Amino acid sequence: MNRLLCATLTAACLLLGSPAQAEVRKDRIVLADGHPTEYVVVKGDTLWDISGRFLKSPWRWPDVWDVNPQIDNPHLIYPGDIIYLTWVDGQPRLSLRRGVRKLSPTARVTPLDRAIPAIPLRDVVGFLNDNLVVDQDLLETAPYVIGGKNERIIAGAGDRVYARGEPVENISLQSLFRPARAYRDPITDELLGYELYKVAHGRIMAREPDTQVLTIELMDSKEEVRIRDRVLPNDESRIESVFYPSPGPELEDALILDVLGGVANIGQFDAVALNIGAREGVEVGNVFAVYNRGERIKDPVTGETVQLPSERAGELMVFKVFDKVSYGLVMRATNVMTVGDHLRAP
């Protein structure tokens, strides 16, 4: 479990580049105003929160982390540990000193406190495993529910439903998803994919090769299963908090596509869908700056319509990547964000 909650601190070696790039990063690392010289980690902290106490750009934590080889597993940070600021060759460094913690009275001694996550998992846990974005071909070829036992049109945990089609993967454990929306790029009008959300888990109990009918026993359900729900492999993965912050690529026309959850205005810790994905080189942990599109106003003298410059409104970090779409979590908001706001490398 500790590995699942390990800190982003191990990313330092991943973020090292050429000497020129290192020089640029060194010049850009700025300590936060009123930063402490040390901080005691408490329950409920995240690495992003802690780094924000020391750095103006919290996602730069891996660049200033100083690993102490004398500490057992320094990449796990627990409540009670002490983060302190030092200077090496004129540059800030953050180091770890273990705090005093009770140990569990078991044969295999482990800390009672779990390591703190990189970001607030409560705000993304539902989207990590329960949402998918698939292309049109997969949506059209995936098996679909045609009915339930005793001619039921809705079903839940413990019920049996029937689907038709060839399973995407030859495994018995499957999940049932419901199409939620189609994502289209607002600039190119390209169909980026269809978002699905999970409604139930099931197990294929029998198959009829001639009719391609699948008999599925529902193991648990979050919502009632309905006709036309799609059957896809159970891709349930353990909740990871291993996010390595890194600057996102500089992309043209990258923007916020939608808000996960349906709110109108976007603020801190809201999850959003982006019109960029693995195809554009986006990776989990990429950080982007969000810019509000400048307003268009009329020049009172010439009568011309003038586009005002965009203004920075905050930062977000990508936590899940699909082929042409990705999900991001707004980590800082200095202004209200909306769908259509543009993304830039931070």
- What's the rounded Cα separation, in Å, for the pair 22 and 7? 22
Relative to beta strand 271-274, strand 256-259 is: antiparallel
CA distances from 49 to 3, 43, 59 (A): 20, 12, 10
Picking from 195, 208, 143, the residue whose alpha carbon sits closest to that of residue 169 is: 143
User: Which two three-digit tokens encode residue 172?
Assistant: 């018995």
Average pLDDT over residues 315-325: 95
Mean pLDDT lowest among 16-20, 75-79, 132-136, 189-193: 16-20
Picking from 335, 327, 287, the residue whose alpha carbon sits closest to that of residue 310 is: 335
Is the pLDDT at 212 greater than 60, yes or no?
yes
Q: DSSP assignment, residue 341? A: -
Is the pLDDT at 56 greater than 60, yes or no?
yes
The reported pLDDT for the residue numbered 16 is 33
Average pLDDT over residues 61-65: 80
**Domain spans, the chain:** 2-118, 125-233, 246-344
Average pLDDT over residues 153-160: 81
Q: Give alpha helix (H) positions in 135-281.
A: 136-141
Mean pLDDT lowest among 89-93, 108-112, 211-215: 108-112
What band does 108 get if pLDDT is binned at 50, 70 and 90? very low
Picking from 75, 94, 62, the residue whose alpha carbon sits closest to that of residue 247 is: 62
Site of tokens 């003038």: 306
Is the pLDDT at 24 greater than 50, yes or no?
no
Is the pLDDT at 14 greater than 70, yes or no?
no
> What contacts 24+ positions apart, CB below 8 Å, involve 262-266?
264/338, 265/336, 265/337, 265/338, 266/330, 266/333, 266/336, 266/337, 266/338, 266/339, 266/341
Q: 3-state DSSP call for residue 24?
A: helix
Site of tokens 């990189």: 118
Compute and round to an integer the Cα radius of gyration of the chain: 24
The tens digit of pLDDT for each residue in 169-204 reads 888 899 999 999 999 999 999 999 999 999 999 999
What is the separation, in whole angstroms, between the first and last Cα of the chain? 32
The reported pLDDT for the residue numbered 76 is 77
Greatest alpha-carbon pair distance for the chain in Å reads 81
Picking from 312, 309, 303, the residue whose alpha carbon sits closest to that of residue 337 is: 312
Is the pLDDT at 38 greater than 50, yes or no?
yes
Residue of higher predicted confidence among 2 and 271: 271
Length of the chain: 346
Domain 246-344 is in which class?
A: mainly beta
Is the pLDDT at 132 greater than 80, yes or no?
yes
Is the pLDDT at 22 greater than 90, yes or no?
no
Backbone angles phi, psi at 34, to 5 degrees: 70, 25
The reported pLDDT for the residue numbered 107 is 47
The reported pLDDT for the residue numbered 143 is 96
Q: 3-state DSSP call for residue 11?
A: helix
The reported pLDDT for the residue numbered 228 is 94
Is the pLDDT at 26 greater than 50, yes or no?
no
Sign of CA dihedral 133, 139, 142, 146: positive
The tens digit of pLDDT for each residue in 64-101 reads 876 655 555 556 788 888 988 888 888 888 888 887 65
Average pLDDT over residues 131-157: 87
The reported pLDDT for the residue numbered 236 is 59
> What contacts 24+ positions apart, CB below 8 Å, involve 206-210?
none
The reported pLDDT for the residue numbered 9 is 36
Is the pLDDT at 105 greater than 80, yes or no?
no
